[in-house]
Structures are given as C-alpha cells and as structure tokens.
Structure 1
Amino acid sequence: MQQFSFLLFLLCSTLLTSVKALNILVPGGTGTIAKELFPVLSSHKITVLTRNAFLAATPTRVSSDFGHLGSSFLSANPHVSLRDWDGGDLLDIVGQDWMGWQQDTLPKADIILNLVGGGYTEQRVMATERLVRESLSFAPTDVAFITVSPTEEDIKVHSKGMYPTKLKRLQLCEDMVTQNCRGETYCLRCDMFDTKALCEQICEVVGKIEKSKE
C-alpha cells in the first residue's frame, strides 16, 4: 500500500504544479479513495463534508455506517479538515454541528468534488441536489464541480438487479450538475475498483482547474 501511494504521488505530482492553493470541498470524502487522493493534494486546502465528523476522526473505526479517516491520517495530513453537514437529508441528521455548513464552506470553495455514495442509493441524489442548490446561493460563480461515478459496466456487474435504477440515478445526478452549475463541470465515469487510475483522473482534472485559475 505504501509503494502504491508513493507511485501515485509521483504520477500526480507531474500533473499538479500548484501556483495557488485551491480550496477543495469534498462531500463524502471519508473512504478509500479519499485516503489515497488527499495526500497527493497536499498543496491544497481540503474540507471534507461528512455526516458525522466526530466518528470520522476517531483513532479506530467504531461504526460501519459512517465513513472514517482516523486521527492518525488527519494528523499526517494537516491540509485536511472535517465539517459536519446534513448530507441532503434533513430527516436523518446525525452530526452535531451541521448547521451553517453552507456559509462556512461554499463561499471560499474553488472546487466541489462529490464523492458521496458510490453505491448510488437515493442518498446520492439528495446529496447532489443539496450541493447544487446551496452552491447556487453561496458559492462563487466560477466554482468547479467534479462528480465521480462508476462506469455503466461496473453498475451492471455489481448491481445486476438494480442496474436500471442506479443508472437512472447516476444520470440524474450528472444532469443536475451540468444543467445548473455555473462554473466548469466534470462528470467522471471511473472504474471504482482501480483506485490508482481513479485518483489520476481526479488529479488531472484538478490540474486543469488550477491552470484555468492562474
């Protein structure tokens, strides 16, 4: 794993020659992808929106219901911070300090990187709608929006019975972003089981956005 992370760092560092540190807002950034990606983006400020920031930061994972980065990871990556939010579902709020997340995070965001719910449950749809709606009210007009989604083949193989439903949700989320957001939008379809390639794709897009803001 350490060798993989080092190689990813070398590959992505050739794509990211940062002149200006960007503020990257990452809803759902408490999983495997985040743990591999965030160290590579160390020249930027990353704010993770999570439904339970307390549990995401505990030394060991205490619940499989919520994402987890861990205290040691956060200590090793001081450019990463956590912020509670409602996750798009006001009827199922679990964080203690979720109010005001829009005002605290969106006005200074350069990039919104949506990693919520790779399984494409209804939660992903609600979260995407919430992000798009609130970004129109609070984010700068040039904020870039990146969605990361599985390929159709991934959905077909791993969610056979739910394939039509999940594909419809995926397309709905992408349409919400491309049809409503005012800045640059990037809808990535990735092999969710190839973390290295996925992180490279994200780094490439972040590099493009960096250049556009110089």
Structure 2
Amino acid sequence: MNPKQIALHWQILIGIVGGILVGFLCIQFAEGKEFVIDWIKPFGTIFINLLKLIAIPLIIVSLIKGVSDLKDTTQLSGLGLRTLGLYLLTTIIAVTLGLGLVNLVQPGGFLSNKTREEMLRSFGGVVDEKVEEVTAIEEMRGPLQPLVDIVPENIFESASANSNMLQIIFFSIIVGIAMILLPFSQAECRFTRVGENEQGKSRQIYENHFKK
C-alpha cells in the first residue's frame, strides 16, 4: 500500500507503536542503549528542532496577518477579551487535567525506597540549587515585572528562544496595529507579471511599495 494512502493519524500511531517496539527490543541487549543514543536519538532531536524552527515564523505571520485583517483598531478590544477568556479557560482545563492525572496515576509511586534515595543523592543538590536561584529571582522581581517582561528589548534575541513567546506575540500585535494605522494613500500597489506557470497561464503577484 502506498504510504500516501494511509491517513496521517494512522501514520502517527504506527510510528508510535514502532518506536515502542524498537525501544523494547533494544533494552534487551547490552549495547541496545548505546545504539539508540548514537543512531536513533539524533533523528528524533532533528525532528523536534524542525518543529521548533517553524513555531516562531508561524506565530509571527499568523498574528500579523490576523490583526492587520481587522482593518479597524476598535475591533481589537473585543478580540483581546475573547482571546484572554479563551486563554484563561484553556489554562484552567490544563491545570485541572494535570493535577487530576497526577493524583490519579501518582507517577513515581512505583519506585522503591532504594531507587528514591539514589535519585535524591544524584539530583537532590541540583534541585536545591535551582530552587534557590528561582527564589532569589522572585525576591528581586517587582509587582509589575511580568508586564515589563512582555516588552522585548531585542526582537531577534526574543525570537531565538521559544521561551519568550509573549514577547513575540506582543511584537506581532504591534506590527499588525501599525499596518492598520498606515494611511492607504501612502501605499502604492504595483502589478508585476512574473511569468507563466505549468499550465501556461500567466501568474501574477502584487508587490506593495511604500512611498517615502
């Protein structure tokens, strides 16, 4: 059967099951772990990096396009309230599901006391250092620091880290608003003929040139 004829969700499920089977087989051999780390894990890392690669461009383009299509800044208030409400709703659902599943499944409860003690000896010091760092940072932060953190000082630096997503969203919204406020009389739409496509039809694009 042609792989293209298989639905995408079935391809994903087949990949998940295949990964589980390969992992189960590899742990049965002494050198299986090294084989997975050296020859399989890099492809997974590349796939995750590709997903992260397209995240920022998609968010920027989608937000700028969505905001600029409003054609009126007065519509932003209603859109902002709906977005905030949806964000709070999804956050509540996510927190509820997370806490419910943790209390139901109780991950780590199956570990023996010996394993827990070994993990505490191995990672306890690192965890304590992280907790102290976070505590020190929180003590230095003012009540309006979350608001300050939304505004980026360098958009390229913010775009280089997926953790600064709020700054990316803020920048995209500002650019979209600027496009709405731009006087139409200052924009000149020039028609450009590019050539012919595969069917022999003329393909045309519009390029916006802004007068200085």
More strand by share: 1
Q: Which has the larger radius of gyration?
A: 2
Per the TM superposition, whether the score is higher than 0.5 is no
More helix by share: 2
TM-score (norm 2): 0.21
